[in-house]
A and B are shown apart, each in its own frame.
Chain A
């Protein structure tokens, strides 16, 4: 019962957030709604007993990617509110309606047709018996205790899927190279504007009147 309630709340959170992303006039507000969606998805992961993924969702997605979005929005100065009445490219809205409708139709068809096996039971079936097959991922470990989800991920990721993992490493390397290449010509020769001036003069060595010590704890409310 609690699971149904939590699911409804989390799903509502995610959907409202998604709607907010699309509908907000201000890009920063869109980013905040995106965080709300990601939090909702994280709760849905927790409901599915994928605690590690829920944490990763927040740490990587909400904690790094949306921060990048916000940096870009703030850097490019596009943080002013948009006027939605103005349509920069003609024919966008009818095209969006057509594509959106098509995607919705495909999604519904998939959901209705592929009912068997989508109930969340074991993904591997023994072809002979039609029953869920014993996989290498037992849910009870050697010491009789249940295995955590993160350990199960660890066991397969670095053994069965080691190649895919290394390809991911290559992918991340490509991402880094792309980042460097994209920003290369801009960052060359750019004057640093937030560091100390080019020269300063030292005060004379003679003892001067000391400033009274001020409380350095920073209690300086306006």
Chain B
């Protein structure tokens, strides 16, 4: 197992610190600009799909609309409701915003992974060798899970800190939704970790940059892990972001503004910013986990780190487009449908798939014969079918029990 580490640290301290600050600063600026453009992109794309024009006044094609809105929000009055817990009310936007920034740090953004000379993705900035990602902590993708867990606090404390019952109800429902889908998220990531053999994000890119099947299909995890973990992660990620079709807790028709009803001006702007930033980072994580991150053929580019960056952004745009597409087309899930999907569908499927993958990979490593592998797969499928039947039976029993109770009472 490679203990992959960013080769930056270990040299002279001043150079390390400066390069670190440079990378962090670039990522920070990039994220802010990307969020600005993402909001514009969403409004423009939705308006296209709804056959209207969208923002077109502030700047060419309305690109500065987000900036204008942000600046407008600075000038709005900042209201703190009288029943609010002032400390928690003011803390909540920080808890929503900071994890959104931090997750982006572990995502590899570029680098040339095609060279077979062992210099996987290492670039040289001012003479220091480093990866084109802000950080490569040994816990890797678990850092993403940790930050997802912290992001829940932003919403929950916002709702509670507002001191009124609609935000609290919205916040509790949003938190319940987010924790329900985090389990499925964790299982899908476990399937990818099974394939990679390491938690480090850099290792994941190296693993997926290796040659694929017949040289044509790349070794991306979406193919290698079967498509199921990808779909589970996609759906769970969309629910985790509170994005349509899972945006019940922010729906205006339901609970006014949900957890951010009482927030005005810049505090509201920070929540909004955090939501779109989370969208971008979740897409980046999906690209990293399943689509190979910056890995991609050189095509017509000369060799260099920009190959990786080009491919990364191409894949990222695909996901951002899909998220906006969902918003424009799909109707909203009802809350109970949402929770049922998260608990009763995604968790059993991802659990079963993880076990199947584990067995198959073990068979691959230990060179089981074809018959042994087939026997294992058939055994698994039969067992999972039986257990799935048990689960469906349990669901029906519970439902019948409720109907019976309702009939008894009513």
Do chains A and B make direct contact within the complex (CB under 8 angstroms)? yes
Say which one of A67-75, A110-118, A121-129, A166-174 lies at the interface with B.
A67-75
**Nearest Cβ on chain B to A124's Cβ, whole angstroms:** 23
Return the CB mask of A117-150 against B: 1 if under 8 Å, else 0: 0000000000000000000000001010111111
Within 8 A of B (CB), among A57-115: 58-59, 62-64, 67, 70-71, 74, 79
**Nearest Cβ on chain A to B47's Cβ, whole angstroms:** 8
A28 and B149 within 8 A (CB): no
Size bracket, chain B contacts: 35 or more
- 26 A-B pairs with CB atoms under 8 Å apart are A29-B88, A51-B137, A55-B139, A55-B143, A59-B146, A63-B150, A63-B152, A64-B149, A67-B153, A70-B160, A71-B172, A74-B160, A74-B168, A79-B160, A146-B3, A194-B169, A195-B334, A195-B335, A217-B43, A219-B39, A221-B73, A221-B76, A221-B265, A221-B269, A222-B79, A222-B268
Bound complex: CA A188 to CA B404 (Å): 11
Bound complex: CA A222 to CA B88 (Å): 20
Residues of A within 8 A of B (CB): 26, 28-29, 32, 35, 51-52, 54-56, 58-59, 62-64, 67, 70-71, 74, 79, 141, 143, 145-151, 188-189, 194-196, 213, 215-222
In the assembled complex, B117 has its CB within 8 A of some CB on chain A:
no
A58 and B149 within 8 A (CB): yes
Bound complex: CA A150 to CA B200 (Å): 11
**Nearest Cβ on chain B to A195's Cβ, whole angstroms:** 7
B175 and A67 within 8 A (CB): yes
Within 8 A of A (CB), among B134-159: 137-139, 142-143, 145-146, 148-150, 152-153, 156-157
Residues of A close to B216: CB separation below 8 A? none
Residues of B close to A213: CB separation below 8 A? 50, 52
Bound complex: CA A94 to CA B179 (Å): 41
Residues of A close to B137: CB separation below 8 A? 51
Which 5 residue pairs spanning A and B have beta carbons closest together?
Answer: A63-B149, A55-B142, A222-B264, A58-B146, A55-B139
A55 and B179 within 8 A (CB): no
Bound complex: CA A67 to CA B171 (Å): 12
Given contacts A55-B143, A222-B268, contact A217 B175 (CB under 8 A): no
Residues of A close to B160: CB separation below 8 A? 28, 70, 74, 79
| A221 CB contact (under 8 Å) in B142, B169, B175, B268 | B268
B46 and A217 within 8 A (CB): yes
Residues of B close to A216: CB separation below 8 A? 46, 327
Q: Which residue of B lies closest to A35 (CB)?
A: B153
B139 and A51 within 8 A (CB): yes
**Nearest Cβ on chain B to A103's Cβ, whole angstroms:** 31
Residues of A close to B46: CB separation below 8 A? 215-217
Given contacts A51-B138, A55-B143, contact A217 B42 (CB under 8 A): yes
In the assembled complex, B87 has its CB within 8 A of some CB on chain A:
yes
| A59 CB contact (under 8 Å) in B149, B153, B257, B327 | B149
Given contacts A63-B149, A63-B152, A218-B250, contact A145 B3 (CB under 8 A): yes
Given contacts A58-B149, A62-B149, A217-B46, contact A222 B1 (CB under 8 A): no
Residues of B close to A149: CB separation below 8 A? 138
B39 and A217 within 8 A (CB): yes
A28 and B150 within 8 A (CB): no
Q: Which residue of A lies closest to B45 (CB)?
A: A217
B145 and A55 within 8 A (CB): yes
Residues of A close to B168: CB separation below 8 A? 74
**Nearest Cβ on chain B to A31's Cβ, whole angstroms:** 9
Given contacts A189-B405, A194-B169, A221-B264, contact A62 B150 (CB under 8 A): yes
Q: Which residue of A lies closest to B178 (CB)?
A: A67
A222 and B145 within 8 A (CB): no
Bound complex: CA A53 to CA B198 (Å): 15
Residues of B close to A147: CB separation below 8 A? 1, 3
Within 8 A of A (CB), among B33-73: 39, 42-43, 46-47, 50, 52, 54, 69, 72-73
A59 and B145 within 8 A (CB): yes
**Nearest Cβ on chain A to B257's Cβ, whole angstroms:** 8
**Nearest Cβ on chain A to B262's Cβ, whole angstroms:** 9
Interface centre among B47, B54, B87, B138 (most CB of A within 10 A): B138
Interface centre among A70, A79, A220, A221 (most CB of B within 10 A): A221
Q: Which residue of B lies closest to A60 (CB)?
A: B149
| A195 CB contact (under 8 Å) in B139, B272, B327, B336 | B336
A194 and B335 within 8 A (CB): yes
**Nearest Cβ on chain A to B12's Cβ, whole angstroms:** 14
Residues of B close to A74: CB separation below 8 A? 160, 168, 172
